[in-house]
Amino acid sequence: MVGAGLGVWKLMRGVRQLELHRLILALIIFCLLSMAFLAYYVSNSPKIKEAPPLPFSDCGGGGGMSPGASTGAAGGGPGVQRAPLFLPQRQGRLRQVKAVDNSRTEPVVLVFVESIYSQLGQEIIAILESSRFHYRTEIAPGKGDMPTLTEHNRGRYTLIIYENVLKYVNLDAWNRDLLDKYCVEYGVGVIGFFKANENSLLSAQLKGFPLFLHSHLGLRDYRINPNAPLLYITKPNQVEQGSLPGDDWTIFQSNHSTYEPVLLASTKSSEALAHFGPSPLRALYATVVQDLGLHDGIQRVLFGNNLNYWLHKLVFVDSIAYLTGKRLCLSLDRHILVDVDDIFVGKEGTRMKVSDVEALLNTQNKLRALVPNFTFNLGFSGKFYHTGTDEEDRGDDMLLQHRMDFWWFPHMWSHMQPHLFHNVSVLAEQMRLNKVFAQEHGIPTDMGYAVAPHHSGVYPVHSQLYEAWKSVWGIKVTSTEEYPHLRPARYRRGFIHNGIQVLPRQTCGLFTHTIFYNEYPGGSKELDKSIRGGELFLTVLLNPISIFMTHLSNYGNDRLGLYTFESLVKFVQCWTNLRLQTLPPVRLAEKYFQIFPEERDPLWQNPCHDKRHKDIWSKEKTCDRLPKFLVIGPQKTGTTALHSFLSLHPAVTSSFPSTTTFEEIQFFSGANYDNGIDWYMDFFPFPSNVSTDFMFEKSANYFDTEAAPKRAAALLPRAKVLAVLINPSDRAYSWYQHQRAHQDPAALNNTFHAVVTAGPSGPRDLLALQRRCLHPGAYAPHLERWLQHYQPSQLHIVDGALLRSNPALMMEGIQRFLGVTPIFNYTQALMYDDSKGFWCQRVEGGRAKCLGKSKGRKYPEMSPELRAFLAGHYREHNMELLRLLNRLGHALPSWLRQELQSWS
């Protein structure tokens, strides 16, 4: 019995252990399943939405100095003493200040930088470029000569900027005297920066000035002096509270009445300036001062740090305006337009709900009180209407319910990129679907504005898009961030193509994925920094017209679009005198091209040199159809003969002939340029071998057309350039005879002598003929213009006289310059034709195939008297050419050597 009982006990014990193991295993499986379910739920369920961030409050929290407060002193509380060594405001002092008059100078800024890589120098240039001000940079000389400051009794520069003011004050006596006399005589001011480094003294007097510098300071609570004369955009009613970044600030102190503080701050600690005596409690010290010119007749603005701090950028812009007499200055008007792209587009969970639309309307009404006519501009793709959650679909309906409260513009129906459509009719049909949707839902369709998804087809130009836009929607205006390139943003410009005005579009830091404040890339402080004096603020400051790109998702979720623009508007109005307003796109475009008329004409770039551009360019197009070299002229120097010789080479292919200009395309030199690069590339075949095939075009009027070098270099920056030069006297006479043969009345009714000797009061048609005879022959300045855009190694000068007498020799040199292979034997390919008087192609049977009868015309010799007159006219021009060719290391043409011998 005992044994049986023991057996039962062991059995029961085993069963219990088995059940325990099963229980533990079941618990483990349950925990794993729970974790998996929880992970699935967390990842797929909508986030618990926090309350959207509140925009910045109205101006306040600073108590900036009132207009009657003393400057250079503490912020305006009772018992606060003035900082030492700055004189109180005196009305009589400002009456002594001369009004800035630099009208005898060119509107160009001369910037002395420490190096081409210095950060401050690049920031100065960035602001000048953003403002579209012309400038020239020079490495600040420690020793050595100043650049030439005057030309023909006019100043070449209207403002001088020194990245390091010490380079200015430590100039040698000769150059300093030269610069100071220039500034006094031409009314030119100086802006200088002092950024303390480890070698800077704690205190020092600025050499030659009654001004003391105290460096390596930590400062706080920035204020603006309302009495500073330079203030224009800057509004002096705020205090920027808190510590200023860094402990390397410099303050200025002086007893001289010429110095007026602009920006002031207090030190972080009372011991900061103990090394030069006690200072009043909460005293303010100037970090930016304006020299009124009462000391030496030169007005200046000096900064005690660089431009890293946003308020310095604002005052720097005002300094430029003041010291140039507002010649380099934008008006106070700023036009902003906020586009909301992708209406009805977006995945579930990111779209607008009813409460978001209500917030959009509420914010729009608040902004209208601050920005006249402010209206959100909504871009829609109708195919995606009602494709969200039920709550988001109700948001779609509410948008349409309030459709007349907004402006509307079309995207593509299916939000596809237009450059993917190669047929205009198919593209237009997609647009019609969107238009039908708009008409069915009462969306206004007469704004005349559209935006392509991802800016596809706008730039680089997809001509089918422009045609479809005009035929379906009657589009007059669009915008893009891609012209001429996305980055840097300060280079974005507008242009007009095929009757459609293209405006630059700006980003504002909000993209489709930036939908939560606390998840903003880099942290929410990065968005606030952009608004409060950063990139977004500077965009408004430096651009008279700004179209901002935002997205539907920026107005749902945390409504960052509303937060950003309400905060931005309030910040701008707190700190500046800018007048913000909104205009509909067509009126905005009219305003833009009134301000910047020079931007009406585009500058076509090579799409294959920018990856973004290549990605939104039709795959049916290829840059391989662009030429590798150009024959640029000038006219009547033998360029047609050169064109025919080059075309004989088996590896060289010329452009197709034009029905109007024959072997010349004349793209870069005239109205054909407006047709765009698609039109240009149609003149070239698809190369059979990209590496060995050399395509080219010849247009002889490129040589002396002012716009041609810049246009050519933008599209063909790696091309090589051939210019054919003959004696300019012979070229002038040949052009005259050419015009007679083409029945030009001015040439038929006037002798060559009358043409070239006509005075400035002569008939208009006679003077036009004279210019075309004489102007292209002033070779040096035309070549210099090409050399501004091409390297000397890309330019080859062809001796036109030798091309006529010994073409085989010339063609061998040209082949080596181009790098074309194999070397073609022109000695066998050409033969001299006695009847024509020049070399022609040798064809079967030993016969000559020459150019048409319009080439090689016979006409009377030029008289010796006229040849002598023209030799005198071109003598200085030929000397310029001589100096240029010597500088480039080019051999002198035979005709130029003969001219030199005739002078000796």
Alpha helices in 45-101 (DSSP H): 91-95
DSSP string for residues in 357-404: HHHHHHHHHHHHTTSTT---EEEE-GGGTT-S-HHHHHHHHHHHHTGG
Q: Tell me the C-alpha to C-alpha distance, in Å, between residue 778 and each of 259, 761, 782.
A: 52, 22, 7
Return d(Cα 196, Cα 187) in angstroms, integer. Answer: 30
Angle, alpha carbons 674-675-679 (nearest 5°):
145
Judge whether 131 and 161 are in contact, CB under 8 Å.
no
Judge whether 833 and 826 are in contact, CB under 8 Å.
no
Active site residues: 636
| Distance separating the N- and C-terminal Cα atoms of the chain | 145
Query: Pick from 703, 707, 708: which is nearest to 779 by CA?
Result: 703
DSSP state of 649: S
Report, in angstroms and rounded to the nearest whole number, the Rg of the chain calculated over CA atoms.
Answer: 36
Return d(Cα 826, Cα 67) in angstroms, integer. Answer: 84
User: CB neighbours (10 Å) of residue 749?
Assistant: 11
Task: Return phi, psi of residue 704, to 5°.
Answer: -110, 10
Beta 249-253 vs 212-217: how paired, if at all?
A: antiparallel
Q: How far is CA 398 from the centre of its chain?
A: 40
DSSP string for residues in 141-183: PSSSPPPP-EETTEES-SEEEESSHHHHHTS-HHHHHHHHHHH
Query: Pick from 89, 66, 90, 91: which is nearest to 76 by CA?
Result: 66
Return d(Cα 537, Cα 131) in angstroms, integer. Answer: 14
Element (H, E) at 479: strand 477-480
Strand partners, 842: 848
Return d(Cα 501, Cα 507) in angstroms, integer. Answer: 19
DSSP string for residues in 813-869: HHHHHHT-SSPP-HHHHEEEETTTTEEEEEEGGGEEE---TTSS---PPPPHHHHHH
Return d(Cα 656, Cα 669) in angstroms, integer. Answer: 18
DSSP string for residues in 188-209: -EEEEE----TT--SEEEPTTS
Cα dihedral: 512, 517, 523, 526 (round 10)? 80
As a whole number of angstroms, the longest Cα–Cα distance in the chain is: 152
Strand partners, 336: 546
Return d(Cα 368, Cα 355) in angstroms, integer. Answer: 20
Query: Pick from 885, 863, 853: which is nearest to 754 by CA?
Result: 863
